[in-house]
Amino acid sequence: MITLTIDDVKVEVPEGTTVLEAAQSAEIYIPRLCYHPDLPTSKGLKPVEFVYRGDERIEGDTLDQEFEGCQLCVVEIKGMEGSPTACNTQAEQGMVVRTDTPELQQIRIENLVPLLADHPHYCLTCAQREGCSRTQCSSNVPVEERCCPQLGHCEVQKVAEYVGISEKIPKYIPAGLPILDQEPLFTRDYNFCLGCTRCVRACRELRGVEALGFVFKDGRVIVGTTTGPSMSESACKFCTTCVEVCPTGALVDRKEAKGAQREAVLVPCRNACPAGIDVPRYVRYIAEGKFDEALAVVREKVPFPSVLGYICTRLCEAECRRGEVNAPIAIRALKRAAAERGNGLWKEKLPPVTPTGKKVAVVGSGPAGLTAAYYLARRGHQVTIFEAGPAPGGMLRTAIPKKRLSRQALKQDIEEILQAGVDLQLNTHKTSVDELFTEGFEAVFLGTGVTYVGAPDFRSPKKENKDALKLTPQGSIAVDLETLATSREGVFAGGDLVLGGISEDFIQYTVEYWDEVSRGRHFVDVLVDQIALHRGDSSHSVIRAIDTGRRAASAIGSCLGGDGIIEETLMETEEPDPRLGRDEGFADWACLTRPYSPPPPQLAGQGKSEPPLSVEAAIEEAKRCLRCNLRALMSEVVFPPEKWLAFTAENVSTVPDVAGVYQLLDEEKKVFAIKGVMDLRQDLEEQLETNDQACYFIYEEDEMYTKRESELLQQYLQQYGEMPGGGMDDLDDLF
């Protein structure tokens, strides 16, 4: 470790740290645009011979010149001549650094000029920018001279406002550069490119793809594709890392990936899976030939890897971003490959079970019931499954044809579940919840599908029935959507009891079904008839049924005094290799099995299962993955600090008693109030006495405070989609 002083603050950092990183560790902000925390330094970065900017091939003037960076992070170091850049200067023992002198501020302002000269910058200096509607310009600036929709949450804007924009900056003259809006996943608008080379370094050095490069032409940095006009021709892998690191609107996602929706947009396969299986992780393992590890990842979330490899309806494939390039990854086929070729590694990773002495009854051995039973048994509870039929599996066995679901695959998954310590009682028809509680069970999970456990009482769901559970208007069991708890304490339900709507005629059919059972008609025949009439293809509900079983198991565990945690780590988390490597023609690699397409209604449930992938084919198919999750793992860019103050009497006393607008922030520095007033100090003093939520505040003087208040509210609304503090109640006043 070494110690240096930055702006009179002692900072201790590991040897090899740059001055910029050292300052950041002490929360001392140094402005920068070419720097990104996950990218290597720009020092020594060399151009390529030529690039394509759209259809235009641009030959570079030189191959010897090195990229000098944005030059905004210049600092003063005692004993060193000039103003070195903090991002390329190593911290040394005893070094004394200044980051905020007037001379440095002026240098940064001047260095920002060439960066913005060829970038639409009128909006950055417009007095109306915070309240701008982005659709109509009060100054009548032509569209091509305006900033992009990133305005308001743009890194370039934030840095420019922090540094200051010189009056010497020339008027922007639109160059009419190409806008590549026909590529998959993102749009590239060369008119907004600053030449910071972040995207080049991300593609070249972080991912190892080299689809992007830059040249020096007439003293300017020009970024473009390397071997052809399109990203596909340049072997782009569409990981969209370039979009992630771009500080402007030059690279923009087609579908916005910000805020709460970021993870869902960037890794839609994992988000689309009701059970939350880490799809990118097990696909990566298969690409590496590690089928055992892939199976362990799948089993962390579901006890039915073999079954789902045959009949999962591939909600993940429907959302797969590779589908926008040519065809989605065959995720279901890869899950089957993992199940068929993985061995017992996952069993070796199972944590030990500590018995709790608690008894749980599970009625029905379909996917929901078996899933709940498995996770409850893994948490040490004594679990008994009561199945009215002669064999376990529910609809998996009785409603899905053998040609679609291998009975060997079903048997394998069920045996693994039972080996977890689950007691299975077949040909046992339980019709009373009270009976189960009388037998000593402390919680009950109903997973009987559409043949509700109290079916015989449908004829009498009468009010004096003790077993009566509240139903939805559609006839399904009413439950809490998070815990799957029913209207009766200690009773939970899942699967088609919850997911499937039950009509009045279906209730009548269920009654007739139980009459047939009582007269000895074969259970399987009746259930197959029932499914054929009322469900069509039952496989669509399997993964959702598994999800309900998982959630119910967690809630039951909590109900029995546990922590409700059912997650099991069967593969230690490891940092994936960020390097993808270059593969020519990657965008055109074809899917090696049948791509996703929903079956036509008339063929629902009738299709045959797909043939299995060979080891070689599975590995090749997995290599088609875009590895979208790598982008989601990237560090966030640090924006310039806001000018907020701690909300104390001492700080409020320094506020002038003039008109203006103030903003109040909570302890997480989130704005929850924006207010324009005639006397800033007086109003803030009143807030000190009455407002317990405010921890920080920002203010600005403005005689036209009502207008400024409206601008700031509109800016907040555009950025967050709601008014400060949540809700939209103040919109009438705003507009």
Please report, as a single letter, which amino acid is at residue 190: Y
Element holding 214 (H helix, E strand):
strand 212-217
pLDDT tens string 673-729: 999 999 999 999 999 999 989 999 999 899 988 988 888 888 788 767 788 877 655
Per-residue pLDDT at 514 exceeds 70: no
Least confident of 190-194, 311-315, 366-370, 690-694: 311-315
Provide the pLDDT confidence category of residue 597 given band limits of 50, 70 and 90.
very low
Q: Which residue has the higher pLDDT, 498 or 578?
A: 578
pLDDT tens string 73-90: 999 999 999 999 999 999
Same domain for 422 and 503?
yes
Per-residue pLDDT at 536 exceeds 50: no
Same domain for 618 and 706?
no
Per-residue pLDDT at 214 exceeds 80: yes
Residue-level pLDDT at 93: 95
Per-residue pLDDT at 602 exceeds 70: no
Domain boundary among 253, 281, 303: 253
Q: Which residue has the higher pLDDT, 603 or 666?
A: 666
What are the two backbone dihedrals, phi and then psi, of residue 144, each rounded to the nearest 5 degrees? -70, -10
Domain boundary among 253, 276, 295: 253
Q: What CATH number did the domain enclosing 372 receive?
A: 3.50.50.60
Report H helices in 535-603. 542-559
Residue-level pLDDT at 729: 53
pLDDT tens string 405-428: 889 999 999 999 999 999 999 999
Residue-level pLDDT at 710: 87
Identify the CA nearest to 197 among candidates 257, 237, 252, 247: 247
Residue-level pLDDT at 344: 85
What are the two backbone dihedrals, phi and then psi, of residue 621, each rounded to the nearest 5 degrees? -65, -45
Per-residue pLDDT at 202 exceeds 60: yes
Same domain for 427 and 549?
yes
**Residue reference for tokens 């546990």:** 562
Sign of CA dihedral 433, 434, 435, 437: positive
Q: Which residue has the higher pLDDT, 730 or 337?
A: 337
Residue-level pLDDT at 532: 42
Per-residue pLDDT at 527 exceeds 60: no
Per-residue pLDDT at 458 exceeds 90: no
Query: Using an 8 Å Cβ cutoff, are 365 and 627 in contact?
Result: no
Provide the pLDDT confidence category of residue 392 given band limits of 50, 70 and 90.
very high
Same domain for 330 and 397?
no
Give domain status of residue 565, yes or no: no
Same domain for 337 and 301?
yes
Same domain for 425 and 452?
yes
Give domain status of residue 578, yes or no: no
Give domain status of residue 416, yes or no: yes
Same domain for 246 and 301?
no
pLDDT tens string 431-454: 789 999 999 999 999 998 764 444
Per-residue pLDDT at 620 exceeds 80: yes
Per-residue pLDDT at 517 exceeds 60: no
Per the structure, the complete domain to which residue 627 belongs is given by 263-342+591-632
Give domain status of residue 566, yes or no: no
C-alpha separations of 295 from 43, 279, 303, 304, 570 in Å = 43, 11, 10, 11, 9
Provide the pLDDT confidence category of residue 253 given band limits of 50, 70 and 90.
very high
Give domain status of residue 639, yes or no: no
Q: What CATH number did the domain enclosing 188 receive?
A: 3.10.20.740
Per-residue pLDDT at 484 exceeds 90: yes
Please give the average per-residue pLDDT across 134-155, as a whole number: 81
Give domain status of residue 53, yes or no: yes
pLDDT tens string 339-371: 999 988 999 989 999 999 999 999 999 999 999
Residue 625 has which token pair?
């993955």
Same domain for 115 and 197?
yes
CA distance 189 to 177: 8
Angle in degrees, CA 455, 459, 464, rounded to 5: 90
Residue-level pLDDT at 267: 95
Report the number of distinct structural domains present in the chain: 4
Same domain for 240 and 326?
no
Domain boundary among 538, 559, 580: 559
Same domain for 614 and 649?
no
pLDDT tens string 235-245: 999 999 999 99
Task: Kindly give the interhelix angle for 155-163 and 102-117, rounded to the nearest 10 degrees.
Answer: 140
Give domain status of residue 637, yes or no: no
Give domain status of residue 570, yes or no: no
Per-residue pLDDT at 562 exceeds 60: yes
Provide the pLDDT confidence category of residue 558 given band limits of 50, 70 and 90.
very high
Same domain for 94 and 188?
yes
Residue-level pLDDT at 608: 65
Query: Using an 8 Å Cβ cutoff, are 326 and 587 in contact?
Result: yes
Measured from the Cβ of residue 102, the count of other Cβ atoms closer than 10 Å reads 7
Q: Which residue has the higher pLDDT, 87 or 668?
A: 87
Per-residue pLDDT at 124 exceeds 90: no
Sign of CA dihedral 124, 125, 129, 133: negative
Same domain for 292 and 426?
no
Least confident of 57-71, 179-193, 716-730: 716-730
pTM for this structure?
Answer: 0.82
